[in-house]
A = this chain, B = another copy of it.
Amino acid sequence: MPKTKLRVEQNLTNKRKKLTTADYAEGIQSGDRTILGRAISLVESNAAAHQAEAQELLTRLLPQTGKSIRIGITGVPGAGKSTLIETLGLYLIEQGHRVAVLAVDPTSSLTGGSILGDKTRMAELSQRPESFIRPSPSGGALGGVARKTRESLLVCEAAGYDVILVETVGVGQNEIAVRAMVDFFLLLQITGAGDDLQGIKKGILEIADAIFINKADGENQARAEAAGKELAMALHYLAPTTKDWQQQVATCSALTGNGIKALWQTILDFKQIGRQNGCFEERRRQQARDWMHAIIDEHLRTAFIKKATKHGLLKEMEAAVMAGEIPATKAAERLMEMYEQRLKS
């Protein structure tokens, strides 16, 4: 039994009272933060009984979801993501918003703690009653972590948070997973040693709706602005991520707060255009459908891999195909024949 499962189950059973789905729903909608936290633990649990309960709860909450703006934020470690979230979050609370911060980082359990586990990272924001900060769920593969964050996002919406920030780090396929659950995707960038922005991860520019160059303060400001101009030229060559939306490049300083208001205005403009041309709602509908299909594909594939791995045939076929001993189509056929026989027996 994986470690996570044990811990989560303990959390749930240690609580004073067993909650029904109705209790959860009521607590969440009345703003009870303890119950909100427990509901998210339920969603994050890998235990089959909890998963069934979580789905019942989500079904009940769905009519209350969808009213937030969902914002994905990525950037390399050191780009200043947590400072930005702190500054932006406090600004938004000032404007009357309620802000939830979630994370997708499947590597966090490997490094011994979540990227958001340390609340000192967002010291002031985490103290505010208008904010809710939740570390990246543990639990292995990206698919599992992304599912949990996606469902936690719905729970936070039902709890009345109207701005959801989903943070991730620039490793592997994380950004693709986050892009698939948010409305707006921000790349936070910093200038490198050599006045420029080299080292932007492959594929990221093409899924970002805006690139903000952080740490544009003091001596660094001129460099950040020059890099921004150069990047804006390069973006010229990329088709926009979102219909009718020209990707924005700007500078900001999460430290001084410069550019934070402009960032929020960019997001509001984006939302307005998307509402007008219908893209905003359509993307959400597509995301929900794609998500369902992604879960199905994962199920199908996992079931296949499990059976194909058991008797070593998969490894054997892979090796033969890679060595050029058997055509890929024939290898696939043999594996499928074996799989279908196993299913019947």
Contacts and interface: CB of A to CB of B under 8 A. Distances in A.
Interface of A: 55, 58-59, 62-63, 65-66, 147, 151, 154, 196-198, 200-203, 205-206, 230-231, 233-234, 236-239, 285-286, 288-289, 291-293, 295-297, 299-301, 304, 317-318, 321-333, 335-336, 343-344
A244 to B, nearest CB: 15
A343 B331 CA distance: 23
A65 B238 contact: no
Interface of A is mostly: helix
Given A59-B327, A343-B343, A297 B295 contact: no
Interface centre among A154, A201, A296 (most CB of B within 10 A): A296
Copies of this chain: 2
* Shortest Cβ-Cβ A-B pairs, 7 listed: A295-B332, A202-B239, A292-B328, A234-B234, A58-B327, A291-B328, A285-B322
A283 to B, nearest CB: 11
A62 B200 CA distance: 40
* Residue of A285, A328, A330 with most chain B CB atoms under a 10 A cut-off: A328
A63 B58 CA distance: 55
B289 A329 contact: no
A59 B330 contact: yes
Contact of A300 (B58, B230, B304): B304
A58 B324 CA distance: 11
A317 B288 CA distance: 11
B237 A201 contact: no
Contact of A336 (B296, B322, B335): B296
A327 B200 CA distance: 35
Given A233-B234, A238-B202, A317 B292 contact: yes
B200 A151 contact: no
A244 B288 CA distance: 39
A321 B290 CA distance: 10
A296 B318 CA distance: 12
B237 A289 contact: no
22 contacts: A55-B327, A55-B329, A55-B330, A55-B333, A58-B327, A58-B329, A65-B324, A66-B324, A154-B327, A202-B206, A202-B238, A230-B233, A231-B237, A233-B234, A234-B236, A285-B322, A286-B322, A292-B318, A292-B328, A292-B329, A292-B331, A295-B328
A264 to B, nearest CB: 26
Contacts of A197: 237
A332 B292 contact: yes
Nearest to A234: B234
A175 to B, nearest CB: 14
A321 B288 contact: yes
Nearest to A203: B206
Contacts of A206: 202-203, 206
Contacts of A66: 324
A210 B147 CA distance: 38
B300 A301 contact: yes
Query: Which of A147, A197, A231, A295 has the largest number of chain B CB atoms within 10 A?
Result: A295
B63 A329 contact: no
A200 B234 CA distance: 12
Contacts of A62: 324-327
Nearest to A288: B321
